Amino acid sequence: MIACAACVGLAACSETSSTPSPEPAGFADRIAPLAAERCDGCHATAPGGSMAAYRTARSLVTPGKPDESLYYTLPARHPAAWGDAAGLVRAWIEAGAPE
């Protein structure tokens, strides 16, 4: 982990890594735990689906464009917000919303 953090974004990283996941800022690692904690109190049983599920999140995201992604901007009059995690969610979308 430490070695990989030093070369985030470098293709060379995947040559020395034996893990199948080349994305250090992926949804499962970084976003899902936050969504489970901050969103699924309301959304876990909502018709739209859990906000901690990649498929749900991905359907609400335009990769590379956080300001056009409902998952980041949230609907008008929405009762909750990302708060201090907003920067992380924004960075994930800007990175192409990797799983």
Q: Give least dist CB 91 to ligand HEC, A.
A: 15
CB-count burial class (<10 Å; 0-12, 13-18, 19+) for 9: exposed
Q: What is the 3-state secondary structure (H, E, C) of 83-95?
A: HHHHHHHHHHHHC
The reply to whether 30 sits near ligand HEC by the rule CB under 6 A is: no
Minimum CB–partner distance for residue 71 and ligand HEC (Å)? 5
Q: Would you say 55 and 49 are in contact if contact means Cβ atoms under 8 Å apart? A: yes
| Closest CA relative to residue 63, chosen from 13, 26, 8 | 26
Please list every residue from 35 through 94 that binds ligand HEC, using CB under 6 A.
35, 38-39, 41-43, 48, 51, 60, 70-71, 74-75, 78-80, 82
Interface contacts to ligand HEC, rule CB under 6 A: 35, 38-39, 41-43, 48, 51, 60, 70-71, 74-75, 78-80, 82
